[in-house]
């Protein structure tokens, strides 16, 4: 079987709306390496879009899943609860960077987490409005896509988004929007569109993922906390991509001197198993009536077993510290690319910890994005054995989400391939 054969079958059987970054079909993977169905090896700088912070098939996590398989695979927590769900909630409550008594709910996807966070905020406040940011990504389900601050491809042709969401320009570093502009826009929304007393939540990614790995400025987070406190609004941190060590802290909100009321996590929560969580202040989280939250597969026992093992791995292998080491190595290589006259023009590296990105530009002396060149680089990368993703509101950002378990040798190998692609 070849990649081309499988691509033909895929095109005939799978909807066009599900895209993929490469025409490669995975056969097996280990840690930060992947082999396709033709036996070709790749260095994985994508990590399943930040899902595999503990790498592919970590033996401790695989064993935990196998052990759970021998006990039971499903009961539905709302029918027959099980200890692993409760234990994971306890550990998440202890880890989350929010003071006071906390409670959690386990779900399956990042979109479920953000939507349920809003449902909880609405129940707690008796309000409906939500404020989000341009460039944000909160999921593809109905309300999550309404909160997402990007039309193409997430909203195009899919009908009008659900009402009740207003977007504020995000003050990305180097952009033309300041923190004052963003906070002033919220004030305009309160005057023109919805009274502050009718806003349930403000949701923000501490570091925008799909938007280009831009970290929220400290002053913005302080301003949002002040606005929420003054108006009884719930502040939601969407840490679906940033959570679990990626930014050099267990949670990205630990980089700021203010706290959210609710934190959403998913992606790397369970080492590749589908699991998400909403963690927040107990008084807010308990607002929904019994039966108002949950899901048939939410907090699946196999995923809970994996998630508990992921936490063990983070502790035993000190992966939060490792994220900072990896980030320093990546930034040194990328900043060297930016100084070269023989490579495509690129920006300096940005992003905290191992959540690292850079932009490909049309000219060395400007910030004009080059989306076409970025697409060529990602194509050259997989042709040369490197799985690499792009992102950003102008489609010219290269993002690196290599597993935190990757060795220095693998990281250097990936950077060397990337350099060759930038030279080509």
In this structure, what are the phi and psi dihedrals at residue 96, rounded to the nearest 5 degrees? -60, 140
pLDDT at position 37 is 97
Sign for the pseudo-dihedral over CA of 250, 406, 267, 80: negative
Q: What 3-state class would DSSP assign to 202?
A: strand
pLDDT at position 349 is 96
pLDDT tens digits along 176-196? 899 999 999 999 999 999 999
pLDDT tens digits along 66-92? 999 999 999 999 999 999 999 999 999
pLDDT at position 365 is 82
Q: Can you tell me the mean pLDDT for 321-348?
A: 96
pLDDT at position 180 is 96
- Measured distance CA(284)–CA(290) in Å, rounded: 14
Q: What CATH class is the domain 3-57+318-423?
A: alpha beta
pLDDT at position 416 is 98
pLDDT at position 243 is 87
Decide if 150 contacts 135 (C-beta within 8 A): yes
pLDDT at position 161 is 83
Of 13-22, 145-154, 348-357, least confident by mean pLDDT is 145-154
pLDDT at position 157 is 73
Q: Can you tell me the mean pLDDT for 346-354?
A: 96
pLDDT, mean over the chain: 96
pLDDT tens digits along 249-260? 999 999 999 999
Decide if 201 contacts 121 (C-beta within 8 A): yes
pLDDT tens digits along 277-302? 999 999 999 999 999 999 999 999 99
Closest CA to 392 of 207, 143, 182: 207
pLDDT surpasses 90 at 366: no
Q: Does domain 72-316 have CATH number 3.40.50.1100?
A: no
Strand partners, 302: none
pLDDT surpasses 90 at 57: yes
pLDDT surpasses 80 at 159: no
Residue 16, number of CB atoms within 10 A of its CB: 6
Is 193 or 158 the better-scoring residue by pLDDT?
A: 193
pLDDT at position 404 is 98
pLDDT surpasses 90 at 114: yes
Place of tokens 């502790």: 315
pLDDT at position 302 is 98
Is 44 or 174 the better-scoring residue by pLDDT?
A: 44
- Measured distance CA(198)–CA(167) in Å, rounded: 15
Decide if 350 contacts 213 (C-beta within 8 A): yes
Counting every residue written for the chain, the total comes to 424
Burial class (CB in 10 A: 0-12, 13-18, 19+), 316: exposed
Q: What 3-state class would DSSP assign to 8?
A: helix
Of 193-207, 215-229, 304-318, 354-368, least confident by mean pLDDT is 354-368
pLDDT surpasses 80 at 150: no
pTM of the model: 0.96
Residue 363, number of CB atoms within 10 A of its CB: 9
Place of tokens 């929010």: 98
pLDDT at position 380 is 97
pLDDT at position 16 is 92
pLDDT tens digits along 381-411? 999 999 999 999 999 999 999 999 999 999 9
pLDDT at position 153 is 81
The helix or strand, by DSSP H or E, that contains position 203, with its residue range, turns out to be strand 199-204
Q: Where are the domains of the chain?
A: 3-57+318-423, 72-316
């Amino acid at each position: 079987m070849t990649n081309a054969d499988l691509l033909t079958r895929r095109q005939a059987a799978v909807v066009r709306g599900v895209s993929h970054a490469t025409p490669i079909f995975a056969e097996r993977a280990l840690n930060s390496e992947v082999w396709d169905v033709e036996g070709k090896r790749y260095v994985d700088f994508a990590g399943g879009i930040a899902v595999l912070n503990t790498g592919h098939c970590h033996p401790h996590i695989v064993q935990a899943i196998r052990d759970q398989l021998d006990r039971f695979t499903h009961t539905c927590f709302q029918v027959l609860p099980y200890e692993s769900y409760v234990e994971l909630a306890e550990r998440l409550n202890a880890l989350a960077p929010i003071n006071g008594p906390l409670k959690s709910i386990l779900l399956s996807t990042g979109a479920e987490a953000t939507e349920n966070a809003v449902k909880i905020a609405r129940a707690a406040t008796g309000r409906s409005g939500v404020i989000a940011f341009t460039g944000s990504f909160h999921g593809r389900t109905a309300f999550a896509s309404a909160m997402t601050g990007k039309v193409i491809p997430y909203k195009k042709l899919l009908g009008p988004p659900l009402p009740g969401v207003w977007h504020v320009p995000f003050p990305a570093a180097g952009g033309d929007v300041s923190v004052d502009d963003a906070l002033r826009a919220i004030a305009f929304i309160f005057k023109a569109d919805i009274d502050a007393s009718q806003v349930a939540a403000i949701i923000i990614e501490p570091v925008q993922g799909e938007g280009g790995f831009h970290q929220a400025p400290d002053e913005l987070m302080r301003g949002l906390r002040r606005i929420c406190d003054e108006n009884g609004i719930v502040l939601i941190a969407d840490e679906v991509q940033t959570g679990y060590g990626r930014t050099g802290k267990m949670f990205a909100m630990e980089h700021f001197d203010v706290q959210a009321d609710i934190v959403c996590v998913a992606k790397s929560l369970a080492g590749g198993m589908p699991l998400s969580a909403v963690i927040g202040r107990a008084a807010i989280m308990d607002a929904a009536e019994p039966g108002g939250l949950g899901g048939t597969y939410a907090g699946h026992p196999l995923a809970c077993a994996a998630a508990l093992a992921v936490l063990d791995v983070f502790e035993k292998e000190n992966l939060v510290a490792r994220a900072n080491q990896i980030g320093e190595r990546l930034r040194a290589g990328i900043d060297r690319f930016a100084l070269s006259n023989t490579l495509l023009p690129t920006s300096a590296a940005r992003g905290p910890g191992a959540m690292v990105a850079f932009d490909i530009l049309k000219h060395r002396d400007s910030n004009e994005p080059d989306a076409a060149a970025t697409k060529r680089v990602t194509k050259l990368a997989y042709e040369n054995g490197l799985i690499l993703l792009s992102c950003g509101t102008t489609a010219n950002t290269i993002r690196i989400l290599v597993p935190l378990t990757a060795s220095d040798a693998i990281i250097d190998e990936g950077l060397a391939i990337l350099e060759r692609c930038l030279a080509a």
